[in-house]
Amino acid sequence: MAHFTKATSVHDWLNQRLGIDTVRRVMATEYWIPKNINFLWAMGMVLAITFALLLVSGIFLLMYYQPNIATAFDSVNYTIMNEVEFGWLWRHIHGVAASVVFLIIYIHMFTGIYYGSYKKGREMIWISGMLLFVTFSAEAFSGYMLPWGQMSYWAGMVITNLFAGGSLHADGLVEWIRGDYVPAQAFLTRFFMLHVLLLPLAILGLIGLHFGALRIPHVNNQDGEEIDFEVEAAKYKAGDKAGSKVIAFVNDFLSKDMMVVAIYLIFFFYLVFYHFNFAMDPVNFDPADGLKTPAHIYPEWYFLWSYEILRPFSTDVGLIAFAFAQVIFVLLPFLDRSPNAVPASRRGLFQVWFWLMLVDMIVLTAMGKLPPEGVFSTIGLYAALTFIALWIALPIITMFEKKA
Amino acid sequence: MKELLILVVVTIFTLATYYLVEPFAHSQMHKHVESEHFAYNDLPKLTATGDATRGAELVMGGAGCTGCHSIDVAGMPAPMDAVTAAASYGVNPPDLSNAGAVYDAKFLAELIKNPAHALLVEHKFDMDKGQMHPMVAFYGTGGDLDQEVADMVAYLQSIAVKPEELTPAIAYETVCGRCHANHYAKWTQIGTTPTFKYEKESLAFQIQVLEYQDSLVKYMGTLPPDLSIYIRSRGEHYIETFMENPQNYLKGTAMPRVGVNKHAAEQVIEYLKDSGDAKRHEREEVGKYVMIFMVIFAIFAILWKKQVWRDLH
């Protein structure tokens, strides 16, 4: 039993019981971050803020949304949009944030790839981050089902069909996932549960893991320099803040984060109020109709690249290619055979690999939305083959990479 | 400087992706139809100057319009209620009180002389095959046909509301409302849903609507869609060009060209915005204040960063 004395203040009272000074020191004022970083290092905070916006707006939407196939559509488009005070605002924040969060995730991911931030002890940061990407994808997909519009219904139909595994004809599995032969009430209710409970819980847990994974290997810096954090921290604490290579998470790093967050929020709210259509597909403003297939069925933009890896091939080959695309990024720390944890600009062929991968994924994204006809399907096929070839080439080109 | 360069690279890749998946992809997926601004260039110009007094005599008498159409403002009641009329003609013939305000004059003239042609439904109503349009063509009462038609158009224009009095509701109800419900505006094909005290009254009204819809399905081939949030599912440009000529998008559709004039079309779109995007004014208003707040917040955030980092460099 610890020794407690009469508290001299509320702070002291709490400190004796919760150790808030220690928590503050460990989590904030003496949590060391390299100084040599650029604004791309603020994407974590931008993501945290966007996730908070999704969570808060989601709580408000949840008060009026009705997970029933007869009333879901109007509860969103009439009750929330027309009747509830500022319901439209929460919905547009939720819809735009769900799209923009993926833009930031991709920027965050490609920053990690460019600066080699998945190597030398940082593998778990990368893996937990990719698990977050997968759960965010599931969260986005399940949320997309809820307005029960045409695109909800038909995207739900197409994506759950993938689980039949092509020639395996695992139709029983598909029915088990849907709870019915086609997407219907059971389907909507279970995706509602996933969206508002199970997946958010998983995301919260994984965010904890992702932050925890940063603790021991520390944050990378923009030159891949190996920093002795203890020596540099001592320098900082001795008062040589200018000479130290590290800064404190609070206020040093946080002030820069908040600057980037503030500029990002200008962009974000511009989209919410004046340019929201990109995040809310017009087709989904038609109520779900199982007898009327829309002329074009496509997923939201952030799934298009993997959709396009599925589409140009025959069913079975396409499914294998699709499964490959889903898991391959997780394996990046092990497929990159080079010990160099430095920016791609100093890694020879890897630099070429990086930019090719980025451009290829943008091409795949564009072709994934366009109708699969004529030149678009040819470009899509070659872009999908390039994607696979790039991953096969990665271990080879990195094995022969010179020590940077 | 390096940060600025990185920002430029990130922005270029983001905009390129946006351009490809949004404006470019949609331009490839959807046919683009240019608006004709409701000019109806395929219809002949009115050559004669109409006389409203003579027009009134024709409309009420010789031309037989009031055999099927009501004219509320002139005290002419409908010969049958909406449900019975739909059972006879397929759709309830419109009240003519505001026809002169919502329909283009050239279109009205052509509609009187050759309804199937004005409505662009000749593929469905072919006289040679004995498919009669429910609205009977007017062949004249013995005088100059074009003069008589011009007189009738002049009469309809003289009794209709002035353009500035044409509300979105009058426009929608006259032009679209007899086929298209809009349940976000509480509109059914037979009128606005009243507030009922007893459930049996409510059910009786629903039965009327369903009976009307049954006739409509027989007439049109399918139930015309509810237009509650068409402004968001189709967008303003699509609705405008679709109204001008439904055949632009759906070759062979049973939906007629409705022949609205530009002003009435704008009012119809206003009605659709009121039902499908009701909070648009509030959105623009709140948006302004949020943007101002965010800019001030960003200025303080930048100043704070500068202050904290002064010691770090």
Looking at the predicted complex, does its ipTM rise above 0.90?
yes
Return mean pLDDT, chain A.
96
Q: How far is CA A101 from the centre of its chain?
A: 6
Which pLDDT tens digit goes with each residue over B236-277? 999 999 999 999 899 999 999 999 999 999 999 999 999 999
For B310, which residue in chain A has the nearest alpha carbon? A242
B22 inside 8 A of chain A by CB:
yes
For residue A235, pLDDT beyond 90:
yes
B113, part of any domain: yes
**Which of A38, A89, A304 shows the shortest C-beta gap to B3?**
A38
Co-location of B114 and B18 in the same domain: no
**Which residue ranges make up each domain of chain A?**
1-28, 311-404
Whether the pLDDT of residue A16 is over 70: the answer is: yes
Interface contacts (A, B; CB < 8 Å): 126
Q: Which residues pair with A149 in a beta bridge?
A: A287
| Residue B137 DSSP class | P
pLDDT in tens, B28-39: 998 889 999 999
Asked whether residue B306 carries a pLDDT value surpassing 90, the answer given is: yes
Q: Which of B25, B276, B282 sits opposite A366 (nearest CB)?
A: B25
Q: Is A280 on the interface with B (CB under 8 A)?
A: yes
Residue B307: inside a domain = no
Same domain? For B13 and B78 the reply is no
Q: What pLDDT shows up at residue B31? A: 84
Output the CA angle A324-A329-A334, nearest 5 degrees: 105
Q: Decide if B278 and A81 are in contact by the 8 Å CB cutoff.
A: yes
Q: Tens digits of per-residue pLDDT, B77-129?
A: 999 999 999 999 999 999 999 999 999 999 999 999 999 999 999 898 887 88
- Dmax over Cα atoms in chain A, in whole Å? 80
The answer to whether residue A404 scores a pLDDT higher than 80 is no
Domain identity same for B15 and B40: no
Q: Closest chain B residue to A75 measured between Cα atoms?
A: B184
B182 and B247 belong to one structural domain? yes
**B188 assigned to some structural domain:** yes
Contact by Cβ (8 Å): A182, A108:
no
pLDDT computed for residue B194 by the predictor: 96
| B78: containing domain | 31-278
Do the domain assignments include residue B311?
Answer: no
| B135 has pLDDT over 80 | yes
Contact A224, A343 (CB under 8 A): yes
Looking at the structure, tell me whether residues B7 and B126 fall in a common domain. no
Assess B10–A contact: CB distance below 8 Å, yes or no. yes
Q: Are residues B131 and B19 in the same domain?
A: no
Among A35, A81, A107, the residue with its CB nearest the CB of B279 is A81
Q: What is the mean pLDDT of residues A175-202?
A: 97
Domains in chain B, number: 2
Residues of chain B contacting A369 with CB distance shorter than 8 Å: 20-21, 25
Shortest Cα distance, chain A CAs vs residue B32, angstroms = 16
**Residue of chain B nearest A103, judged by CA positions:** B14
Q: Give the chain B residue whose CA is nearest to the CA of A250.
A: B308
In tens, the pLDDT along A246-267 reads 999 999 999 999 999 999 999 9
Closest chain A CA to residue B296: A262
In a domain, B305, yes or no: no
A370 in contact with B, Cβ within 8 Å: yes
Structure confidence at residue A333 as a pLDDT band (50, 70, 90): very high
Q: Is residue B162 part of a domain?
A: yes
Same-domain check for residues B122 and B205: yes
Position B289 in a domain:
no
Confidence of residue A3 (pLDDT cuts 50, 70, 90): confident
Task: For residue A293, give how far its alpha carbon lies from the nearest alpha carbon of chain B (Å).
Answer: 15
* Alpha-carbon gap: B287 to the closest alpha carbon of chain A (Å): 5
Rounded to whole angstroms, the Cα distance separating A293 from B144 reads 52
What angle in degrees, to the nearest 10, is found between the helix axes of A349-369 and B2-19?
30
**Is B66 found in the same domain as B160?**
yes
Facing B233 at nearest CB: one of A38, A285, A370: A285
* CA neighbor of A144 nearest in space, from A92, A180, A98: A98
pLDDT in tens, B60-71: 988 889 999 999
| CA distances, A236 to each of A34, A244, B155 (Å) | 12, 5, 90
In-domain check, residue B232: yes
**Residue contact A261–B29, C-beta within 8 A:** no
Q: Mean pLDDT across the stretch A359-378?
A: 95
Same domain, B18 and B113: no
Do residues B80 and B94 share a domain? yes
Q: Buried b vs exposed e over B5-27: b needs ≥16 C-beta within 10 Å? A: ebeeebeebeeebeebbeeebee
Q: How far is B21 from chain A (nearest CA, A)?
A: 5
The number of beta carbons lying within 10 Å of the beta carbon of residue A69 is: 18
Contact A82 B278 (CB under 8 A): yes
Give the residue on B whose Cα is nearest the Cα of A301: B21
A47 C-beta neighbours (distance < 10 Å), count = 19
Report the pLDDT averaged over residues A105-130: 97
Asked if the model's pLDDT at residue A1 lies above 70, the reply is no
Is a pLDDT exceeding 90 seen at residue A176?
yes
Chain A residues inside the 8 Å CB shell of B286: 86, 89, 273
Residue in chain A closest to B288 (alpha carbons) equals A273
CA distance B268 to chain A (A): 19
Taking CA atoms, what residue in B is nearest to A100? B14
Taking the C-alpha atoms of residue B239 and residue B64, their distance in angstroms, rounded to an integer, is 34
Q: 41-80 in B: which are within 8 Å (CB) of A?
A: none
CA angle (A73, A76, A82) in 5-degree steps:
120
How far does A339 lie from chain B, in Å, by closest CA? Answer: 25
**Claim to verify: residue B191 and residue B204 sit in the same structural domain:** yes
Q: Is the predicted pLDDT of residue A300 greater than 80, yes or no?
A: yes
Q: Which of B:149-208 have CB within 8 Å of A?
A: 184
DSSP A45-95: HHHHHHHHHHHHHHHHHHTT----TTTHHHIIIIIIIIISTTHHHHHHHHH
Test B298 with A262 for CB contact under 8 angstroms: yes
Contact map slice: A 86-105 vs B, CB within 8 A: 86, 88-89, 92, 103
Of the candidates B32, B235, B250, B26, the residue with the CA atom closest to the CA atom of residue A371: B26
Contact residues, chain B, for A89 at CB < 8 Å: 283, 286
Share of chain B above pLDDT 90, in %: 88
**Residues A341-367: tens digit of each pLDDT:** 999 999 999 999 999 999 999 999 999
Q: Nearest CB to A262: which of B13, B18, B301?
A: B301
Per-residue pLDDT at B130 exceeds 90: no
pLDDT at A299 over 80: yes
CB B198 within 8 A of CB B122: no
* Contact call for A266 and B294, based on CB within 8 A: yes
Considering the domain architecture, whether residues B19 and B69 belong to the same structural domain is answered as: no
| Percent of chain A at pLDDT exceeding 90 | 96
B23 close contact with A: CB closer than 8 A: no
Cβ atoms of B72 and B191 within 8 Å: the answer is no
CB B257 within 8 A of CB B119: yes
- What separation, in Å, do the N-terminal and C-terminal C-alpha atoms of chain B show? 16
pLDDT of residue A351: 97
